[in-house]
Amino acid sequence: MAEKLRVLVVGLGHMGVSHAKAYDRIEGYELAGLCARSIAERDDLPAEWADIPRFSDYHEALEALKPDVVAVCTWPNTHAEYAIAAFEAGAHVFLEKPIAQTVEEAERVVAAAKRMNRKLLVGLSPPHSPMWTKLHELAKTLGKPLVMRMNLNQQSIGPAWNWHKDLLASASPIVDCGVHYVDAMCAMTGARPIKVHAIGARLSDEIAPDMYNYGQLQVIFDDGSVGWYEAAWGPMLSQTAFIVKDIIGPKGSVSVMSPENVPPTQQGATSATSSEISTHSKIRPLRLHHAKIGPGNALVHGDEDIEIAEALTHSQLSERKQTYLLNAIREDWDMSDHMRRAVDSMRIVLAADESIRTGKLVELPA
């Protein structure tokens, strides 16, 4: 049996704890250390982790443990620094999205992974989801160019609004969530993004004057494909069509069927369907539409509804990502395409942010 890889998890919010639990469940890993600035005050971590070394200082933890893998699950403003330090300490890295806060930082992270010959897996969800994998497969049958329509709007109330306001201190929804979706666009087209335009709006006085909590981007690829992505957080948002995943090509279209819309109607509600993380990763059927027409322009084939047999919970999706990283390390997989798309995704969402702030279309380098 291969020796277990020792893992340090830094950042113990919702995602950090989810990934730590995944490492604890997977046979090939050993949870070697936990790190968070306020860890001394934490009384909500699993009791079975009581003997796992705990640290409030990341660099101290890195030096003391010398882990094989570091999972960076902190706020985005530390991602590049922490990932590069882990690579330079000889560790492989799982890095929660986004890869960094700037394209330059993202490129430095990738360069460090290559220089140290270590694996980097950015926590983008679509490549690990059975539903997204099938959506990608069907999109490849639709011809080119593709038109890709996607969104994730969250009616965040109660604790979700507090969490989103914290996130808005460092990133807009279009940046924080958008990397998942534009990564999927890059993968479906296999093309490079060349132009980005976006719009945005500040819908709350509870966020910084220079921040916006609604955004929508449009991206053009060098194969003629186009896509838009919309994301917003806040108690003012509608839950109508809050999750859209719709891919159109010359030969037809494939769509993720909409989730049941169950908005909170009771007075004092503190949760909403659209802000529940379990809703975001819920597996739903796909509808494949064929564009071929016959006499009188009638469709030759009816639509096909495709059920996705494998349904992963959010925690199982975390486990899927960490199993992928384990295999990449043990089998020395080439992660170049993944890292390129992670940087391109960052390039797109930051160009969208620039477009919103300047009101101008942004052209991307070849």
Confidence (pLDDT) at 1:
46
pLDDT at 15 (0 to 100): 92
Cβ-contact 8, 61 below 8 angstroms: yes
How long is the chain? 366
> How high is the mean pLDDT of the chain?
92
Residue type, 312: L
Scanning the structure block, which residue is given the tokens 């049996």?
1
Beta-bridge partner residues of 216 = 199, 230
Comparing CA positions, the residue from 208, 211, 283, 201 lying closest to residue 237 is 201
Please state, in angstroms and rounded to a whole number, the distance separating the CA atoms of residues 14 and 19.
9
Residues of the chain with pLDDT under 70: 1, 259-283
**Distance set, CA 56 to CA 20, 37, 61 (Å):** 16, 4, 8
Beta strands in the chain (DSSP E): 5-10, 29-35, 54-55, 69-72, 92-95, 120-122, 147-154, 193-201, 214-221, 226-233, 243-249, 252-256, 286-290, 304-306, 362-363
Angle separating helix axes 79-88 and 103-115, nearest 10 degrees: 10
Question: Under a CB-based contact definition with an 8 Å cutoff, are residues 55 and 64 in contact?
Answer: yes
CB 51 within 8 A of CB 25: no
Report in angstroms the alpha-carbon separations of 93 from 59, 118, 273: 15, 8, 32
3-state SS, one letter per residue, for 76-105: HHHHHHHHHHHHHCCCEEEECCCCCCCHHH
Q: What is the pTM of this model?
A: 0.86
- What pLDDT is attached to residue 262? 47
Verify cis geometry, omega within 30 degrees of 0, for the bond prior to 130. no
**What is the SS3 assignment for 207?**
coil
- Residue 134 CA to residue 319 CA, distance in Å, equals 19
3-state secondary structure of 245: strand
Identity at 17, one-letter amino acid code: V
C-alpha–C-alpha distance, residues 206 and 146, integer Å: 38
Q: How far apart are CA 170 and CA 98, in angstroms?
A: 11
Interval 301-355: pLDDT, tens: 999 999 988 878 888 999 999 999 999 999 999 999 999 999 999 999 999 999 9
User: What was the pLDDT predicted at 310?
Assistant: 80
Using alpha carbons, select from 213, 204, 230 the residue that is nearest to residue 349: 230
| Contact between 2 and 28 (Cβ < 8 Å) | yes
Question: Which tens digit of pLDDT belongs to each residue from 108-159?
Answer: 999 999 999 999 999 998 889 999 999 999 999 999 999 999 999 999 999 9
Which ranges in 41-196 belong to alpha helices (H)? Answer: 58-65, 79-88, 103-115, 130-139, 159-168, 173-176, 178-189
CB 247 within 8 A of CB 255: yes
